[in-house]
Amino acid sequence: MDLKQLQQRGEFEWLLPATGRMRVPGVIFASRELVAAMDEKVREQIANVAGLPGIVSAAYAMPDAHWGYGFPIGGVAAFDADDGGVVSAGGVGFDISCGVRTLHTGLKLADVERDKRRLADALFARIPAGVGSTGTIHLGAAEMNAMLKGGARWAVAAGYGSDADLAHIEEHGCVAGADPAAVSDQAKKRQRDEMGTLGSGNHYLEVQVVSEIFDAAAAAAYGLAAGDVVVSIHCGSRGLGHQIGTDYLREMVVAAPAAGISLPDRELACAPLKSSLGKRYLGAMRAGINCALANRQILTHLARGAFAAVFPGVKLPLLYDVSHNTCKEESHRVDGNKRRLFVHRKGATRAFGPGHVELPPEYAKVGQPVLIGGSMGTASWILAGSAGTEERAFGSACHGAGRAMSRHEAMRRWQGRALVDELAARGILIRSPSLRGVAEEAPLAYKDVGAVVDSSDRAGLAGKVARLTPLVCIKG
DNA sequence: ATGTGC
């Protein structure tokens, strides 16, 4: 990106002044190097988002921002319904409520190293992974609706976990206002057999060791110490979320002109929050969020079963669960006034700072855990929402590394089998139904997550707490 | 991301 188009406001903050159709400025939080490496398309997309009706304060980009469908991935934008604000299917993304959760194991590195191969095989045998993977749960129509309304709370009531899990999930595992009737039969049909499955692409279940602590107080509050083994699960709402995105994107493109919305890019298709289409999308999108929360809850149950088979008596309590493709109704202070806003976070994580009323009491002093998935074979990170983050980008931070090259290019450069062998030689066991998928997810096909995390820390979005290094990866 | 792809 051409830095001359931007005004530097701090070492890690860049302003794109409002010109032309922009109603508000754009703001990018990243180091000079990361901004310079971003595609010009990111600037164009930030400017486009800044021109949407009812946008509040600014269109934001996180340090891992890259070109996405309509909105950039790593984009944050809030809208006021009373000011003509909109909701956008492309602003949430296709994998609704894709996210990460991390579980404690109570085990240390040496405990797991002894039985690593058996653990990898036990997890791979129990965690359905890959394109079109199906599980052992088959939902009828009534159960489907109950799941879409209840999210992880439904999963816990069905026997997949405990109330303690719910206390460590955003919105206690169930977002209000989900409307199963707004979800198409096609979307439900695609999900019928996909509960408790990982999916493909960059989704994974990983066994990791805490390799370094950066913030002792936050680590203590989160129950983390160097050498601890944890499990992280990265996945979303599978076929259901994708179908909801497809259905509503189409509808929003068609309805936009009649709603008085002229779009510089049809991928920005959106609907007024107060319109019936906007309300139906919100209801369906929230059902998609609940589906993802239920899915990660069931996968947690499966992981617990695999661990118990190898390490009898081991419990896997939930540290936290975050979503990074959502639109959430939240209260935020803007120019001194509290306002109800609809915050789109697409490839961006909620990152509430210390003292926020929605945090579990045990984390309130240090801020929300922000879980950052690395690429296969590289580090993942646990951050803590920084003080004042609500005044910066509505309480948001980065979500991951972001691709550095296309899947196609990665496939040309690497072979899945060679990558699996190479990682095994470094002590990282990969289990995947697809060697092609492994090649597409080659570590070097992604940007350096460390640089993204450093920028997030230094920009005051979310601070470094712990680095996690992979031991076993079940790859979709 | 995705019953990957028009």
Listed by start position, the domains of chain A span: 3-80+96-475
Contacts of A381 (CB under 8 A, 6+ apart): A371, A372, A374, A449, A453, A464, A465, A466, A467, A468
Residue A98, CA: closest nucleotide via C1'? Answer: B1
CB atoms within 10 A of CB A40: 11
CATH of span A3-80+96-475: 3.90.1860.10
Nucleotide B1: closest residue by CA–C1': A95
Q: What is the pLDDT of residue A404?
A: 87
**Average pLDDT in the A346-367 region?**
98
Question: Mean pLDDT, chain A, as a whole number?
Answer: 97
Closest-CA residue to A270 (of A71, A42, A34): A71
pLDDT at residue A440, as a whole number: 95
Q: Percent of chain A scored above 90 by pLDDT?
A: 97
Q: Closest nucleotide (CA of A186 to C1')?
A: B3
Return the structure tokens found at A313. 């008596």
Tens of pLDDT, residues A281-295? 999 999 999 999 999
Q: Which of the pair, A182 or A376, is modelled with greater confidence?
A: A182
Instruction: For nucleotide B4, give the residue with the nearest CA to its C1'.
Output: A131
Q: Does an H or E element contain A234, and which? A: strand A228-235
The residue count for chain A: 476
> Can you give the distance from the CA of residue A239 to the C1' of nucleotide B3 in angstroms?
8
Q: What is the pLDDT of residues A92-122, one digit of tens each?
A: 999 999 999 999 999 999 999 999 999 999 9
The Å distance, CA of A301 to C1' of B5, is: 34
Flag whether A325 is marked binding. Answer: yes
DSSP string across A43-75? HHHHHHHHTSTTEEEEEEEEEEEE--SSSPEEE
Q: Is A97 annotated as a binding residue?
A: no
Residue A75's pLDDT band (cuts 50, 70, 90)? very high
Cα angle at A195 between A323 and A249, to 5 degrees?
60
Positions on chain B within 7 A of a protein C-beta: 1-4
The CA distances from residue A146 to A70, A174, A194, in Å, are 32, 11, 16
Out of A66, A242, A344, A399, the active site residue is: A399
Give the nucleotide nearest to A194 (CA→C1'): B3
Report the C-alpha gap between A214 and A441 in whole angstroms: 28
The reply, when asked if residue A222 is annotated as ligand binding, is no
Question: Is 90 exceeded by the pLDDT of residue A50?
Answer: yes
Q: Which residues touch strand B (CB under 7 A)?
A: A 94-95, 98, 131-132, 186, 190, 194, 199-203, 235-236, 238-239, 242-243, 407, 434, 436-437, 441, 476
- pLDDT, tens digit, for every residue of A238-263? 999 999 999 999 999 999 999 999 88
Question: CA(A103)–C1'(B5) in Å?
Answer: 36
CA of A82 to C1' of B1 (A): 32
Average pLDDT over residues A167-176: 98
Which tens digits make up the pLDDT trace of A416-458?
999 999 999 999 999 999 999 999 999 999 989 999 999 999 9
Among A37, A14, A42, A18, which Cα is nearest to A27's? A14
Q: What is the pLDDT of residue A264?
A: 87
Give the other-Cβ count within 10 Å of A356's Cβ: 17
A301 is in an annotated binding site: no
Q: How confident is the model at residue A187 (pLDDT cuts 50, 70, 90)?
A: very high
Q: Is A375 flagged in the annotation as binding?
A: yes
Mark whether A168 is an active-site residue: no
